[in-house]
Amino acid sequence: MKKILLIIIVAALSIYEAVEEQGSSAEAKVVAKASKAKQVGSLQAAFANRQSDLQIQGVGIVKKVLRDDLKGSKHQKFILRVSGQTVLVAHNIDLAPRIGGLRAGDRVEFYGEYEWNDRGGVIHWTHRDPQRRHASGWLKHNGKTYQ
């Protein structure tokens, strides 16, 4: 009888530990997700507060495709309208593929670093960092991710 009671107690403790560990893991995921959400700022707030060096995620409509900047690191450039505001996107095409066939009116999702200027700002770092010292960014167009 003592052996059966001991087995039941050990089994109960094992189940309790497994449930606690699973709960802690779920809680950690929620905390991590909330922390990440704090790091991703709002474009409108960043512009209004003249903030820079802020990771921004959003979606917009291409207002105008500009010529590639070929000085130094090559960048594909375009103006994106996001919630009534415009922002320049400078996508490094030395480190990531260029978006082929990009046109005014196209929808583009983005995740990159925002730099404030009085014209609406710039989104850059829309690629992976080869040295892994900076958050990886991306652009999405017509179901394809460019990074």
> Which of 14, 127, 108, 32 has the alpha carbon at shortest distance from 40?
32
- Predicted local distance difference test score (pLDDT) of residue 122: 98
At residue 42, the pLDDT reads 86
What was the pLDDT predicted at 118? 94
Q: What pTM does this model have?
A: 0.71
Q: What pLDDT, on the 0 to 100 scale, is given for residue 129?
A: 87
Q: State the pLDDT at residue 30.
A: 39
Report how far residue 48's alpha carbon sits from residue 33's, in angstroms, rounded to the nearest whole number: 25
Q: Tell me which residue range forms the domain holding 28.
A: 1-39
* Beta bridge mates, 115: 122
Whether 63 and 118 share a structural domain: yes
Same domain, yes or no, for 32 and 98? no
Per the structure, how many domains does the chain have? 2
- The H or E element that residue 54 is part of is strand 54-65
Cα separation, 34 vs 84, whole angstroms: 27
Q: What is the rounded CA–CA span in Å between residue 118 and residue 104?
A: 23
CATH code at position 85: 2.40.50.140
Co-location of 109 and 140 in the same domain: yes
Residues 25 and 55 both lie in one domain: no
- 10-residue mean pLDDT series, the chain (147 residues): 56 54 45 39 88 94 98 97 94 97 98 96 94 92 97
